[in-house]
Every structure is written in C-alpha cells, then in structure tokens.
Structure 1
Amino acid sequence: MRPILPILLSLLFLCLHPGTGAALEITALTPAAASPGEAVAVSGGPFDEAARVILGEVEIIPDNSAPRTLRFTVPSLPPGDYALAVYQQDKLWPSPFIFHLREPTPVITALNPANLDECADEAEHRVAIDGTGIRPGALVLLDGAVVPSAADAGASLYFTVPILPGGLHEVKVVNPGGTSSLPRTLTVSDIPVIYSVQEGPNRVNTYELHISGKNFRYVSALSVNGLRVTSRSGGDLRTLQGEYLEYIDCRNLIYHRYPYSGELKRVSLQVINPGGRQSPVYHVSIP
C-alpha cells in the first residue's frame, strides 16, 4: 500500500499553488473596451502573483492578482484593437478576446488665465489649457473655430487668444479621433479702468492730464463731473468748452483741459466705452 502522507502533501501543495502544472485559461474580459486610465478585469485562471497581462506588445503588472481574476489599468496607448494574453511561468497564454482601446474623452480642468482684458499684450493673451485625456494632435476650438495651438511642458496645450469682443467665450479640446471636451469659459473684459492721472505739459491756455489705465478705445469718451468730452486720435473733436480727449493707445489717454482757476478743484472722471461700459469713478484734484 502506498504511503498516504506523500499524497496528502502533494494535494496540499497543489491547493496552495493552484497555478503549478495547471493549464491556464482566460474566460472573460470585463469590459472588453475601455480608455486609458480605466480598470479592466481578466477572468479565468488559475493565476499566480507573478502573472503579467500582455496588451499588444506591452507588459502590464496587474493592480490586483487573485487565483481567478487579474485587474489592471489600461495604459496610455493609441486607440485601436489589441490582442490580450497572460504571461505566467515562462509561458504566454493567449486570450480568445480582442481588447478595444478607446480614445479618451478630453477634459479641461483649468484655463490659465481664465480672465483676460480686451487691452492686453501678446504675452498676456497666451492661455494654457490644463486637462486630462488630451491626445497628441488635439485641436483647440475657440467659439467653434480652430485656433493654432501647441503642446507645452507645463500644460497640456496652450494657445494665443486673438482679438475678441468683451464677454464670455467657449474653449474646447477635440482629440484626433473626434472625442470632444465640454466647453470651458474664457472671459474677456472690456470694462475700462483708470489707474492714475498725472498733470502733463502746460500750454498758453490749456494743460494736459495723462490718464493711465486699461481697456480704452479709439472712440472712448471721458465724463468730467458729468460733462462728456469726446475722443478722436490725432484730431480734436471738441466740446462746447473747447476741451478734448486724445487717444494714445488702449492704456493711455490725454485730456486737454482748460484750467478754470489757479486753485485745485476736486473732479470726478470716468471713461465711457461704446455700449455704455464705464470705468469706476476716479477722483482727482486739478485746476
């Protein structure tokens, strides 16, 4: 009669090491299609802790290994169909399933900056797009139109905002396969602001007030204690009092003013843009 102890030990060893000497099979792939970063379960077995998932030609270490299930995270690979296999005990076990890797849906997590001034230089008009699922070759859409963009080490993409009217604008990212992000809002402010007012040169009967700020326009007007003074670059469209506003650029205006007396007088100034956009009131004491 054969000794029973060696048989019992052999059975115990097989129970503790189910993959040893056993044929491996793959019975299910859940889900059979996913995007990079998503989880997939390979069912079948028996699997051991050293098992590796082979997707195409890429070896993947499972996130979780169990005798009947391997779970892994889909790596960042080009979209398409991939053969799937399991490598275990120096042997490649093919799967009857084909895994479809879907193109990820891009997500814009932030625009930096998300708020721009109408009067901003080119550097200030550069916007970085931070996000996930953005593939190489993705397009940037601004209000539905494609704008030139490029990849940047510090962000997923960046683009330069063209001249836009004040208000809310939509930014989207579209991957090469057509998946599109939800729109993200870019705000362009056209509200004028006065930062400072300085006295300039004095002439025979007039003097200059140099007004610095932002979002000034060629046809902006200046309210002086409620009196409207109009502007025309290079010209002198005058008020009844003979005063006028000279447009220099979107950050600078010159108010040509007649002094009313030698004493300082507190004056309220406001820049008014077409459409009624007004700067906050700026108070200054001038002759």
Structure 2
Amino acid sequence: MKRSVAGILFTLILLPVFAEAFEISSIAPSRGEPGTEITVTGGPFSRLTRVRLGEKTVPVHDVNSRILRFFLPDVQPGEYVLSLEHVGEEISLTQFIEILEPTPLIGNISPRNIDACGTAEEQSVQVDGRFFLDGASLLFDGVSVPMERVDSGQIRFFIPSTMRSGVHGIQVRNPSGKTSLPHSLWVNDIPSIDSIERGEDYVNHFEIIIHGRNFYFNSILSVTQPNSRAPESDHRSRIIYSDARGFGSNPGSVQQTSDRLVFRDCRTLIYERYPSSSQVRDLFFQVINPDGKKSEPFGISLP
C-alpha cells in the first residue's frame, strides 16, 4: 500500500516535466498592411493566450489549440517584435512582423453631385475613408489640388475653379505613392429655375427676378405663351438675350422686342419685361445655356 501511494506521488511530481511544451511553428505572413490577417501555428493555444506587437496588445479573433489568428493593428509602419503570453508565461520571438504603410481607402464622398456654380461652402467636398497619412495629397482627375487633412479618416477640399462639367475622379495618395481607387464626383452645369418673383415696377416695364442655378453671362431666356387651340409646336415663344449679346428676338420666332435679360450672377437673372397690355397671361420660362443645355419649363402668370 505504501509503495502504491509513493508511486502515485512520484508520478504527480514528474507530470509537469512531461507536459507538452508551448511552441511556435510558423507565422504567416510576416509582413502586411494594417488589417492583414496573421496566422500563428504551434501551441497549445487557448482563449487565455495574448498577443502583443511591441508594446501594443492585439485582440485575437480566432483561436484553437494549434492555430491563432489576429489582424495587424493600425499603427505606424515599421518592424515589431511579436510576443505571446500563455498562462502567465511570456515568450518573445526573434522573428519580427513588419507593418507596411497602408493603401488609402475612400469610403464616401459628400456631396457626390455638385453644381458648377455655387458658394464656397457649396463647392466644398468631404472625403471620408481610412489611412490618410500625414503628407497625403488629394488628386482631382490625377492632378494634386489644395486640401485640408482633418485626420487619418477625413479630407476636405474645394473643387477647382477651372473644372469642367461631367464626371471627375477623386483619389488620395499617401507619401509613399500608394494611391486609393478612384471615386466619382459629378459636376453639374445644367441650368435650373428654382423660383421667380416680381421685382421693381417702372413706367413702361417691370422686373422679373429669376432665381436658380448654373446661369451664364450669355444664357438666354425662352418665354413661351401656351395657346390651348394650337398644337404645342405652334406655341408662341420669344427668345430674350442677355446684355452680353444685345437683345431682340430669335430670327426664327417672332418680331423684335425691347425685353432684355440682365445677368446678375450664376444664380440670378433679371428679366426686364415691357408688356404690350396689362392682361395677365400664363407663361413658361426656360433658361438655355450656350451649350444648349436647358432648364425645365417654369410656369408663371404675368402681364
């Protein structure tokens, strides 16, 4: 009996000696950008196993007895010593993990559709994403433009004054040359009438103030008086020219008129109307830009 008890005690004393040793078989990959998944094989691992890169503790997202996985954190590029802590025992490896400079990522552009004509505030664009490093630049159709880096996830800029209408590519480039995929920004120059109000009255004419967007100094105004008894193609139209072009009628429409259009700014036109009578008529206004782009007809009742 005494021999039996002594044998059991001897076995228990020697058991830790023969316990499976903690080891690391491989680490793959050994380098990558933030967000890269790293797989460590060896073990035995458990949910108590902790990972550190340099002085930073990194969360483990997948672990079993032989495999441990984690994602590289968003830290400064460089080489970091990998340390594993297993049940209070810290093991530092001679192998380093290199964290590379990340490729910038654009998640959203706001607004995505912007008017060619607008206030400075309205022509400000915000770019949200990740990995916008110090010294990053913003590319508008491949050309660097002035911008403000708010932080690593946000950039603001103003659309260039020389831009043309259409779709433009927006990218972020980090100092190393790594560049995000392009995102689209639409610059719109189609005229639009938002509202019309009556302005000052004079002896033989009065002003009509047209508020809208994307007006040019040489835009023209089409004034159409519908005729319910005639087909749409026969509706009476007058073309009013701006001061930059003189004034008068389109040769293909009706007789000469003294009405004229005054360009105040890209959001405001003033139509000086000389009515032939005080009778109120239903009219449709339409702004036409030099390239032929037209606003939607806007209805109003005027003398």
Q: Same fold (TM over 0.5)?
A: yes
User: Conserved in 2, the CA contact under 8 Å of 1:26 and 1:43?
Assistant: yes
Any stretches of 5+ residues in structure 1 without a counterpart?
A: none
Q: SS of the residue aligned with 1:63?
A: strand
Q: Residue 238 of structure 2 is aligned with which of 227, 230, 234?
A: 227
- In structure 2, relative to structure 1, the CA distance for the partners of 1:47 and 1:201 (3 Å cut) is closer
The Cα shift of 1:278 comes to 0.4
Q: SS of the residue aligned with 2:277?
A: coil
- In structure 2, relative to structure 1, the CA distance for the partners of 1:61 and 1:214 (3 Å cut) is closer
Cα displacement string for residues 210-244 of structure 1 (whole angstroms, at most 9, x for unaligned residues): 111111111111111232211136xx812131221
Q: Which residue of 2 aligns with 1:285?
A: 301
Q: Which residue of 2 aligns with 1:244?
A: 260
Q: Which residue of 1 aligns with 2:209?
A: 210
- Letter of the aligned partner of 2:209 in structure 1? H
Cα displacement string for residues 140-184 of structure 1 (whole angstroms, at most 9, x for unaligned residues): 111111122223379522222222222111101112222211111
Q: Which residue of 2 aligns with 1:275?
A: 291
- In structure 2, relative to structure 1, the CA distance for the partners of 1:68 and 1:6 (3 Å cut) is farther
Q: Whole-Å Cα distance in 2 between the matches of residues 154 and 5 of structure 1? A: 62
The Cα shift of 1:8 comes to 5.0
Q: Which residue of 2 aligns with 1:184?
A: 183
- In structure 2, relative to structure 1, the CA distance for the partners of 1:12 and 1:111 (3 Å cut) is same
The Cα shift of 1:102 comes to 2.0
Q: Residue 278 of structure 2 is aligned with which of 262, 270, 277?
A: 262
Q: Whole-Å Cα distance in 2 between the matches of residues 273 and 6 of structure 1? A: 99
- In structure 2, relative to structure 1, the CA distance for the partners of 1:183 and 1:212 (3 Å cut) is same
Which has the larger displacement, 215-224 or 144-153?
A: 144-153
TM-score if structure 2 supplies the norm length? 0.82
2:86 aligned with 1:77:
no
Q: SS of the residue aligned with 1:26?
A: strand
Q: SS of the residue aligned with 2:9?
A: helix
Q: Whole-Å Cα distance in 2 between the matches of residues 14 and 104 of structure 1? A: 45
- In structure 2, relative to structure 1, the CA distance for the partners of 1:228 and 1:14 (3 Å cut) is farther
- Letter of the aligned partner of 1:276 in structure 2? G
- In structure 2, relative to structure 1, the CA distance for the partners of 1:87 and 1:224 (3 Å cut) is same
User: Conserved in 1, the CA contact under 8 Å of 2:45 and 2:68?
Assistant: yes
Q: Which residue of 1 aligns with 2:97?
A: 99
Q: SS of the residue aligned with 1:217?
A: coil
Q: SS of the residue aligned with 2:177?
A: coil
Q: Whole-Å Cα distance in 2 between the matches of residues 7 and 133 of structure 1? A: 59
> Sequence identity, in percent?
35
The Cα shift of 1:45 comes to 3.3
- In structure 2, relative to structure 1, the CA distance for the partners of 1:121 and 1:155 (3 Å cut) is farther
User: Conserved in 2, the CA contact under 8 Å of 1:108 and 1:182?
Assistant: yes
- Letter of the aligned partner of 2:7 in structure 1? I
Q: Which residue of 2 aligns with 1:201?
A: 200
Q: Which residue of 2 aligns with 1:166?
A: 165
Q: Whole-Å Cα distance in 2 between the matches of residues 96 and 265 of structure 1? A: 89
The Cα shift of 1:115 comes to 0.8
Q: Whole-Å Cα distance in 2 between the matches of residues 58 and 283 of structure 1? A: 66
- Letter of the aligned partner of 1:97 in structure 2? Q
Cα displacement string for residues 17-70 of structure 1 (whole angstroms, at most 9, x for unaligned residues): 74xxx4x43321111122212221222334455433232333334334444333
Count of aligned positions? 280
Q: Whole-Å Cα distance in 2 between the matches of residues 129 and 166 of structure 1? A: 20
Q: Whole-Å Cα distance in 2 between the matches of residues 43 and 127 of structure 1? A: 46
Q: Whole-Å Cα distance in 2 between the matches of residues 168 and 255 of structure 1? A: 32
User: Conserved in 2, the CA contact under 8 Å of 1:125 and 1:162?
Assistant: no
